[in-house]
Amino acid sequence: MFAICLGMGNGMATISRAGFEAINGVMNAPVSAARASRREAAPPRDKTRGGAIKWPEARAATRARKPAQKQGGKPMPDITIDGADGGFGAYLAIPAITPAPGVVVAQEIFGVNQVMREVCDWLAGEGFVACCPDIFWRIEPGIQLTDRSEAEWARAFELFGLFDVDKGVEDLKATLAQLRGHEACSGTAGSIGYCLGGKLAYLMATRSDADCNVSYYGVGLDELLAEAGNITKPLLLHVASKDQFTPPEAREKIEAGLAGQAQVTLHVYQGQDHAFARVGGEHYDKAAADLANRRSIEMLKGSLSR
């Protein structure tokens, strides 16, 4: 049964409806317009947290040394996903006990950076084979940005505007298929995504055969509600009530559009902004993140452990 849950507890509530002007202008606008929009939209960063990075240095930061994948806590080499348009890299983390269910991790706009790798390591610690593919590879392989400087934010928004969502979903589907066939995977597999990845996790629910999907503060979902009828497997949505990229009108539209979907559970985190679960981020909130993560693990284990 579709459920909308408000606040930090487990109570249920009815939400009012409203119209809305979508934030999707950045995502769906022509690239030239999107670039200008992104420059205005990038929030100011605290320069004491890493300092301003000049453009060449920002690009160099995208090629920072990649931590090794982990297998039962031990390093292992990067893997390559065989996609329809070519091979691309991915970070893989394998739990101590296998075979285990798989989870495809869809990145934020910063690439497969340390945050995404730590998400994979966390999932491996919870008993999942976790794989985060480089979905920016068509633009520039190996992107690894942080949220610590204006230059990196500008680059992240540029990548966001150049990114082909449909191709990205196909890359995630290829990752899903390869993950299911991995010797460490039990064969069941779902997806989890954050920000841009949260949008892609929703699209995995509507366009793939993933066994379940989890979306953290997915952007632009209000523009994708026509696909909601395709959802046949459990979908968990974590939504921030004060998400700067999903205004209240957009959130209400999402809630109304998904109200008839039996496989959808939507939690609203009161007082939280976008990326409240990104450890070390400007809007990180430990209590909200811990609650969302607990709900995610419960859902993943319930849907994939068979």
pLDDT band at 64 (very low <50, low <70, confident <90, very high): very low
Q: What is the pLDDT of residue 2?
A: 67
pLDDT category of residue 169 using cuts at 50, 70 and 90: very high
Average pLDDT (172-188) is: 98
How far apart, in whole angstroms, are the C-alpha atoms of residue 114 and residue 106? Answer: 13
pLDDT given at position 23:
30
Q: What is the pLDDT of residues 110-156, one digit of tens each?
A: 999 999 999 999 999 999 999 999 999 999 999 999 999 999 999 99
Task: Write the burial class of residue 207 (CB in 10 Å: 0-12 exposed, 13-18 middle, 19+ buried).
Answer: middle
Give the pLDDT band (50/70/90) at residue 106: very high
pLDDT for res 266: 98
3-state helix, strand, coil in the chain (%, to 5): 35, 20, 40
| Separation of alpha carbons 157 and 108, rounded Å | 11
Strand partners, 103: 130, 190
Share of the chain above pLDDT 70, in %: 75
For the ranges 22-26, 169-173, 286-290, the lowest mean pLDDT is seen at: 22-26
Q: In one letter, which amino acid is 136?
A: F
Distance between CA atoms of residues 76 and 297, nearest Å? 24
Cα separation, 169 vs 130, whole angstroms: 17
- pLDDT tens-place string over residues 1-51: 566 666 644 332 222 223 223 333 433 333 333 333 333 333 333 333 333
Structure tokens at 156: 């992240």
What is the spatial distance between Cα 137 and Cα 197, in angstroms, rounded to a whole number? 15
User: Could you give the CA distance from residue 195 to residue 204 in angstroms, rounded to a whole number?
Assistant: 14
Quote the distance between the C-alpha of residue 125 and its chain's center: 19
Distance (Å, whole) CA 2 – CA 16: 16
- For each of the domains in the chain, give its residue range(s) and CATH number, in order of start: 3-304 (3.40.50.1820)
Predicted local confidence at residue 246, as pLDDT: 97
pLDDT in the model for residue 71: 60
50: region left, alpha or beta (phi > 0 left; psi from -120 to 50 alpha)? left
Q: Are 147 and 50 in contact (CB under 8 A)?
A: no
- pLDDT, residue 78, reads 85
Rounded to two decimals, the pTM is 0.81
Euclidean distance between CA atoms 87 and 89, whole angstroms = 7
Which residues are tagged catalytic?
243, 274
| Cis ω for the linkage preceding 95 (within 30 of 0) | no
Which tens digit of pLDDT belongs to each residue from 204-246? 999 999 999 999 999 999 999 999 999 999 999 999 999 999 9
Q: H helices of the chain, where?
A: 25-28, 31-41, 55-61, 114-125, 150-162, 165-180, 196-207, 248-258, 286-304
